[in-house]
Every structure is written in C-alpha cells, then in structure tokens.
Structure 1
Amino acid sequence: MTGRTYSISELSRELDVTTRTIRFYEEQGMLTPTRRGQERIYTSRDRGTLKLILRGKRIGFSLAECKELIALYDPHGDNHHQLNIMLGKIAERRLQLEQQLLDIQHMQMELDAAEERCRAALAGIMED
C-alpha cells in the first residue's frame, strides 16, 4: 500500500466525527478501507472522500447527492463534468434555502399576528 494511511480513530479525531459515522459511510459503500485483521486501514483517497461527504452534508446535500458527486470524481481528469454538476446542485440548494427563508419569515409574521391577537384578547379580559 503506498501513500499515507489512517486508522479509523485517526480519521475520527482529525475530522471530528464518530467512528460510528465513518463505519456508516463504509456500509454505504462510500469508503473502502482495507483490513489488517480487525483493523480498518484508510487511504488518503478515503480521507479525501470522507472530507467531501462531510462538506456536502454541511451544506445540505443528501447522501445520494454526495455519492453522485464522488462517483463523478476522476483523479486523472479535469473534473469539468463533476464541477458543473456541483454548481447545479449548489444552485438548487440555494433556491431551497431561499424558499425556506421565505417560509420562515411568513411563519414569523403569522406568529406575530397570533401573539397580537392573544395580547389584545388578554387586554380585553383585564378591562372587564
């Protein structure tokens, strides 16, 4: 095996995730460590893949979207196709977030109106 390798505990500490999380991504077929007895040995590529998964999850990509983007990666190419797909997914995610923000603002206005009605009703009760 060439290049730097990592144990599951090293990756866990370095990337601030649980070993259970790493095993989950392995079960999903996204990481492919080799074995030395019971010990999992991860490559630099596994580390890079895990970093991409975690970054994707942080910005709201689904696991399926992360898998798709990782599958498109070509270590020997310019990754033009992968980057264009990524840009499209970023635009989609941005639109989703903008809609969620509008929904939240609408909900806040509804809460404000309900609060105002409750306060007015309480004031009416206090006057009686």
Structure 2
Amino acid sequence: MTQTYSISDLARELDITTRAIRFYEEQNMLSPERRGQERVYSPRDKVILKLILRGKRIGFSLAECRELIELYDPGHGNRKQLETFLDKITQRRAQLTQQLLDIEQMQIELDTAEERCRTALEQTR
C-alpha cells in the first residue's frame, strides 16, 4: 500500500503551514484525494511541494515552478525539465547579478549624497 500523508503531516514534515498547502492546492498544483472531509496526499504531492518550496527559495515564481513540474514526464525521462531548469537558473543568475550591480551603484549614490549633506552641514556652522 502506498504511503499517504495528511495535511498536518506534510506541514510538519516540510515546515510550512497548512494554509500554504491549501494555497498550492487552490492553484491546482496539488490534487489530494478526499476521504470524507480529509485531504489525503500522495508521495507525488509531497515531491511537488518540495519542488515548489525549493523553487521559491531560489527566487522562482509560482508560474515558473508550475512550468517545471508540468514538464516532468516519468515515462520519457526528464531531459526537457532539466534543460528548462538550467535555462531558468541562468536567467535567475543574470537577474541577481544585475541586482547586485544596481545595489552597488545605489550605495555609491548614497555615499555621494551623504558626503554632500555632511559638507553642507559643516558649512552652516
């Protein structure tokens, strides 16, 4: 028999809230079975949740996470998924590099503004 998980089991194991799990379910990224009012999650749901959480940690949008998850085809391997993932990693690195450059430029501008303010204050004494 395949192992199943309750929503509280997954929340505890993955250190997220049950509300977050329900949100991903509302976004049609998870599809637990129902036993009466109880949600029953499969090992596949657990893997999907782990992938979503990993994607969010590295800055991927929910849409990007969904795209990567939908590309997985266990019958034909996951080459397309891995290639797409590598492309997204490259794009994310480029974004982060640009953000670092922007931050460095902003720090230079702040230093300049601070220096001007201090000079102006000294002149008013």
TM-score when scaled to structure 1? Answer: 0.94
Q: How far off its partner does 1:76 sit?
A: 3.1
Amino acid at match of 2:19: R
Partner residue in 2 for 1:105:
104
TM score, norm. by length of structure 2: 0.97
Gaps of 5+ in 2: none
Secondary structure in 1 matching 2:34: strand
Secondary structure of 1:21's counterpart equals helix
Q: 1:83 — aligned with what?
A: 82
**In the TM superposition, what are the counterparts of 1:14-33 in structure 2 within 5 Å?**
14-33=13-32
Moved beyond 3 Å, runs of 4+? none
Matched residue SS, 1:107: helix
Name the count of aligned residue pairs.
Answer: 125
The aligned residue for residue 114 of structure 2 is 115
**1:94 matched to 2:77:** no
Structure 2 counterpart of 1:63, which letter? Answer: L
Residues in 1 aligned to 2:60 and 2:8: alpha-carbon distance in whole angstroms: 25
Give yes or no for the alignment of 1:71 onto 2:70. yes
Of 101-110 and 68-77, more deviation after overlay is shown by: 68-77
In 2, the alpha carbon distance for the partners of 1:51 and 1:32 equals 15
SS at match of 1:101: helix
Sequence identity percentage: 68
